Every structure is written in C-alpha cells, then in structure tokens.
Structure 1
Amino acid sequence: MFLAKENRYEEMLYNRVGNSGLKLPAISLGLWHNFGDVDSLQNQREIIHGAFDMGITHFDLANNYGPPAGSAEINFGRILHEDLKGYRDELIISSKAGYYMWPGPYGEWGSKKNIVASCDQSLRRMNLDYVDIFYHHRPDFETPLEETAQALDLLVRQGKALYIGISNYDATRTKEIAQLFKQLGTPFIIHQPNYNMFDRWIEDGLLDVLEEEQLGAIVFSPLAQGLLTNRYLNGVPEDSRAHRSDSPFLSEDNVEKTIAIVRKLNAIAGERNQTLAEMALSWNLRQKQIASVLVGASRLTQLQDNVAALKNTLFSSDELAAIDNLLKQTRKE
C-alpha cells in the first residue's frame, strides 16, 4: 500500500494560474511518453509515486497518449485507483481532445461531437467522474470557434471538468476564444503551448494576450526534446532520440546546428551551480505568466534532477543578457 511522504509539500513551489483560484506545482509531470502499454507498469508506478512524494500534484494526459493511443490514461487510472485513490483531492489531473483518436469524421479536431465523446472516453479510461482541467488540444479552423467553446463549456456544466484550457492556439485565436468564454461564463484559465530557449514563439504576442486576459500558462517541451540537457554535449549517442531516424522532433542535424551554443549555455549554467536542464527550466519559469513547466521522465532520477531546478529560479540581469545574446543566433525571424 502506497503512503505518500508527510513532508511532500515542503520544497515544491506552487504558482497561481492567472487570476484563478488554482495553483499548480512549478514542475508538472506529462505522460505523453513512457506511460503506454509498451512501457513497464512498475516503472510508471515508481515515477508517479516519486512525483507525488516530491509535491508534484499535477499529472497531464491526453486521449491519444500511449502508445497505443489511450493506454497512458488506462495505466494512469489503474495506478491512481490502486495506489492514490485516497489522495484524489490533492491531485490535478488533466486531459485533452483534438488530435486524431479514432477513425471517421468525428475522431479529431474541435466539433462538439468530438470533444464531448473524447472527454467521456477519457473519463472511462481513467475511471474518473471528472478531470480538473480539460483542454482543446489544437485549433480547428473548419469548425466555428463558438461551437468548440460551447462544447468545452458544456463539460464544466455537466460536471466532467472543473476548468477549461486550450493548447497550441496562437495569440489571435486565444484572444477570440477568451472573449467567447467570458460571454459563456466558462472557467477558462490556462493555455498549454510549447516553449523553450530555442522556440520562443509565445513571446511574440501570446504572453501579452495571456496577461491581458489574466490567463496562466503551462509549457511543454521546455528542454527542447533533450537538446537543452547534457545528453548531446559530447555528440549524439547511438541510443538517443536524435539518432533515431524516425524521431519527428529532434534530429542529428538539430544537434549539430546548435551544439556550440548549447555548450556555451552549459557553461553559464555551471556558473550558476546548475545543470543545463535545471537552468533551462528555471529560465522558462522566469516568465510571470508561466505557472508550471511540463516535463517527461523515463525514470524517477530524471524527474528528481528536474525538480532540483527550483533551488535556483532567479537570474541576474547580466545572466539573462548573456543567455539572450546566445539565443539571438538561433532565433527564428
């Protein structure tokens, strides 16, 4: 029987999400990879137990996480009910709909049919009555935005979600749906975009919209799929994600183009008594709109290393300037 550590909340930082009443841990656990049926259930259990023991209360899923799609929710639901059921009111559990999940015209995007069906399926897979946050996973430019907003609002009114979020929306679309949610009275509180030192697109308008609308953010891919770690400082290991030709997010070419800058960033991190990954996470959290960063983990030690970033979250103006000068060399125009 799992018993969580009594001191689990002592060292974790908790940040308010926009102007809502909800707080999230500064480090949250994403179950995109490493929690499917192809992965060890015992390892999954160790990571989830260890995360909660470190004060990580937020577990982020989506209907299509696995592989196969849906298996991450099933496995998480099993661990939740076997080990963490008594702690449900201490947990923030989120899921999403929008990417391809089942065949036919209703298995993806942003129709009311897809969103309601997806949420119902996710709740069944996790054996839950409700999720704390339900997201629309990506914008759908063929479905009226009003329909998507009304579908998400319905989930709250049906008691299937406490809060609503969106993911991968640009600044304009975020502003538009925020206005619709205001009219509906929907508890829309959060945006989940990708953000890291090499992909800073949210700084070009989205962060301003979040500030104006009093919304929070939780960012994914904060370590650029491992590029902002010590994994590639000495080349591309044969067992790495970048070495695999089927990796859609990180390639040997990415590593080669950025390795000189990564090594310089690593030197700055060393001067801060941090690893590169720790500094990269702290750098994300410097933005006041960002309540939490989502990290993945294939083993508990990785998660423990990431949480160590919270020991030093402040940057001097000189440090920020030095980092920015390096990043300007890779910033997309």
Structure 2
Amino acid sequence: MPDNNFPKLHNATWPGIVGKGPDSEPPIDFDTMLKLTATADVGGVKFDGVDLGLLDPHVNIDLTDDGIKKLADKVTNLNLSIGSLVAPIWGGPAMGSKEERKQFVEMVRKACHIGKVLRDIGARPHGIVRIDSASSPQQWAADPANNTKLIAQTFREACDVAADYGEKLAAEGEICWGGMHSWKHMVETLEAVDRKNIGFQADMSHTLLYLLGYNSPQDRILPENFDWSDRATLTDALKKVTKALRPWTIDFHVAQNDGTVHGTGSHDKTGRHCLATDPNGKLDIATDAGHWLRDENGNLTKAFKHVCWDGCMFSNDVMTKQQTWNDILATMIKVREKHGWYEAV
C-alpha cells in the first residue's frame, strides 16, 4: 500500500508578521519564511505548500495580476504550492458601521480575486479564504443579538462576493474575535450566515481554549482547575467541541497549546501557540487531530485537501532556526500517517 500523500502538508507564512511590530520584534520577511519552509526535510519528506497571509509587508492585497503571477512563480519555484489565504479585513469590523462593513467585504473581494488568479494559473490547487469578525468579544457583548446579526449580514455579503470567484470562506475559531469567541457562539454565527460557501477554520491551539471558557465562561466544558493529566475528561471535552464544529470545518491548522492565553505586538490575547516539541503542550497532536479529521465513527472526512501548521508569536530567534521547522514538519508527518490517505496523482 503506498504511503499517504494526503492531506498535503503546508506551513503558514503569517507567523512572520502576526505578533510582530513596533512594540515587539520586527517582522520576518516573506523570502525567509519561504526558504525555511522549503528547506525543511524529514527523511526526504518536505512541506508541500504554504498558506499565505495577504498582509503587508509580505503580500500587498492590491497586487496586479502580473504581481500575482510573480508571487506564484516565487513560491512554485521552491516546489511549494499555495493553499489557503488570509483576507486582511481588520480595518473594517464585521459589526461596524455601513462603511466599515463595506470595507470588510471589499477586502474579501480582493483576496478572492488573488485566489482565483492563483487557481487559474495552477499554483493553488485547493484552499479557502480565511476571515474573522475583526471585532472584540467586549464590543460584541454590548449587544449580542444585534451584533451577531450584523456579523452574519456582513459575512453573507462577503460569501456572495466570494461565490462570484468560486471561493469558500472559513471563519476562524479564536477567542479574541467577537461572535466567534466560544464554540457555541461560533456555531450560532455560522448558522445565522446561511450560505453554502462558508465554513469553519479549526486551529488546534485556539479550539483548546474553547474548552476553558475564556471570554465566555458559561460555555466552559472542562472543570475549573482542571487536571491536565486526566486524558479521558480532556478527550470527552474535545469530542463535544468537534461534534459541534466538525460539520462546518473546511480548513484545519495543526498546532499546540499549553492551556494559557498569550499575545505579543499588536495582536490581542489569544491561544498560546507552542512549539511542536513543547513539554508543556496539553495536546497529543497526532491523536487529537483525529477528532477533526475523522467523524464520530472514526471514518476520515476528507473535508479538506491540506492541513497547515500555525505557530504565531514565537520569538524570531526560534523561528529562524531550521530545526524548528524540521520538528514541526515531523509532527505534521505523524498527523498524516495517522489520519491521511492516498490518492493517485
């Protein structure tokens, strides 16, 4: 039986930007992130691609079509494909003013245009466009019902634009985004959007925080002062969250978390991404990824063609070591060995 060749293994470029800035460390340039990804090697197995944040200083959202093709050449010349894209929607909150919400939708349109051009030239075989509410839980809590309606309305408009480009949108489940800051609110928001081309982006680091009820204590699943050595209780909690959100999941980030919140630079407090080898990590990455990659009967969902490592807010010293990315790739390979499949190409 041939070795699994799906899901494809991607690295994210935006950790070179997110959490960096004037009050933190300088960004790591795009070329360096690509080189570290392309150079990673574990027994001859390499990353298959990258997911891109369409964010300055890495990628200008206003690229011309020629610029998009040059971007594709830069990536594919390193034997990497392009997968999911992050739309830079933070200047226009999804529950903001009419003009702000219009700006949100326009950023999604620009991201979808880039995505379509990359698809058309064969550089992007699969992937989604990632969004969030660009609003805080505190802002959302001022008027939960109406704010959820506003977010859903903005997401609907964005979905309709994305459909014109043949794209799907994935809303990121992260505790720092209003209306998406708990697993229950995330489901409510997705249901309210009511569009076929929207889904959920699960990140193992962020969804672990859903179990602890940060920013939404009433939705906590694990008990206070939880003993992390109690794997049975943790597994039950993971099953509860994945049962609710797996049917929506169309994009997936492999990650580790130590059960705490963290933030650096201009990025709000969110789940602390940990290195794949961090001894304080609370997840058994390869095993726990299976809650998202398999259904309740243990069958592979094959709901997405690639998985991506997301490790934001590591220090530049850590991120520029090649061994860091070799260790991450080794973990990704374990996920594919345990929950992957083979397709003839």
After TM superposition, the score normalised by the length of structure 2 is 0.52
43, 47, 50: which one aligns with 1:59: 50
Check if 1:114 corresponds to 2:103: yes
1:73 and 1:224, CA in 2 relative to 1: closer, same or farther beyond 3 A?
Answer: farther
Q: Secondary structure at the match of 1:290?
A: helix
Q: 1:49 aligns with which of 33, 38, 47?
A: 38
Q: Which whole-Å CA distance do the structure 1 matches of 2:166 and 2:183 have between them? A: 27
Q: Helix, strand or coil: the match of 2:14?
A: coil
Aligned residues: 245
CA 40–275 in structure 1, closer or farther in 2 if over 3 Å, else same: closer
Q: For residues 190 and 246 of structure 1, what CA distance do their matches in structure 2 show?
A: 22
Instruction: Name the counterpart of 1:173.
Output: 185
Distance 2:288 2:28 in 1: 34
Q: 1:155-214, CA deviations, whole angstroms, 9 ceiling, x for partnerless residues? A: 3321162x2211122223322233245x43325253447438788448836433114x35
Q: Sequence identity, in percent?
A: 7
| Distance in 1 of aligned mates of 2:199 and 2:256 | 23
Partner of 2:129: 134
Q: One-letter code of the match for 1:152?
A: A
Q: Is the 8 A contact 1:97 1:137 kept in 2?
A: no
* 2:229 alignment counterpart: none
* CA distance in structure 1 between the aligned counterparts of 2:283 and 2:6, rounded to whole angstroms: 13
Report the CA distance shift for 1:246/1:224 in structure 2 as closer, same or farther (over 3 A): farther
Find the residue that maps to 1:210 and give its secondary structure.
Answer: helix
**CA 1:164/1:283 → structure 2, altered by over 3 Å: closer, same or farther?**
same
For structure 2, the residue ranges without an aligned partner over 5 or more in a row are 21-25, 141-146, 175-179, 214-219, 222-239, 294-306, 312-318, 337-345
Which whole-Å CA distance do the structure 2 matches of 1:298 and 1:11 have between them? 29
SS of residue in 2 equivalent to 1:288: helix
Q: Which residue is equivalent to 2:290?
A: 288
Pick which of 42-51 and 29-38 moved more.
29-38
**In the TM superposition, what whole-angstrom CA distance separates every residue of 1:9-60 from its partner, at most 9, and x where no partner exists?**
957662xxxxxxxxx53xx422223269853554233124236984534533
Q: Secondary structure at the match of 1:173?
A: helix
> Which digits, 9 at most, give the CA deviation of each residue in 1:273-300, with x for residues without a partner?
x944697664365243434463344343
Name the CA distance, whole Å, in 1 between partners of 2:3 and 2:308: 19
| 1:144 aligned to which of 135, 139, 150 | 150
Structure 2 CA distance, aligned partners of 1:180 and 1:197?
Answer: 24
With over 3 angstroms needed to count, the CA separation of the structure-2 counterparts of 1:305 and 1:109, relative to structure 1, is: same
Q: How many angstroms apart in 1 are the aligned matches of 2:244 and 2:171?
A: 13
Higher RCO (CA-CA < 8 Å; seq separation 6+): 2
Q: C-alpha distance in 1, partners of 2:265/2:169?
A: 36
- Tell me what 2:320 maps to: 298
Tell me how far 1:137 sits from its aligned partner. Answer: 1.9
Structure 1: how far apart are the matches of 2:158 and 2:76? Answer: 27
Offset, 1:133: 0.9
Amino acid of the residue matched to residue 82 of structure 1? K
What residue identity is the alignment partner of 1:177?
A: T
Q: Secondary structure at the match of 2:243?
A: helix
Indicate whether 1:309 and 2:324 are aligned.
no
2:165 to 159, 162, 168: 159
Q: Which residue of 1 aligns with 2:74?
A: 82
Alignment partners' CA distance in 2, 1:138 and 1:206: 20
Alignment of 1:1-333 (within 5 A): 14=7, 25=9, 28-34=10-16, 38-50=27-39, 54-57=45-48, 59-63=50-54, 65=55, 70-74=56-60, 79-84=71-76, 90-100=81-91, 107-109=92-94, 112-122=101-111, 128=117, 132-138=127-133, 140=135, 141=140, 142=147, 144-159=150-165, 161=167, 163-167=168-172, 168=174, 169=180, 170-181=182-193, 183-188=194-199, 190-192=201-203, 194-195=205-206, 200-201=211-212, 204=221, 206-211=241-246, 213-215=247-249, 218-219=252-253, 222-223=256-257, 275-276=277-278, 282-283=284-285, 285-291=287-293, 292=307, 294-296=309-311, 297-310=319-332
Contact 2:171 2:198 in 1 (8 A): no
Give CA-to-partner distance per residue, 1:294-326, whole Å, 9 cap, x none: 334434331111122256569xxxxxxxxxxxx
Distance between the aligned counterparts of 1:246 and 1:294, measured in 2?
A: 21
RMSD: 4.9
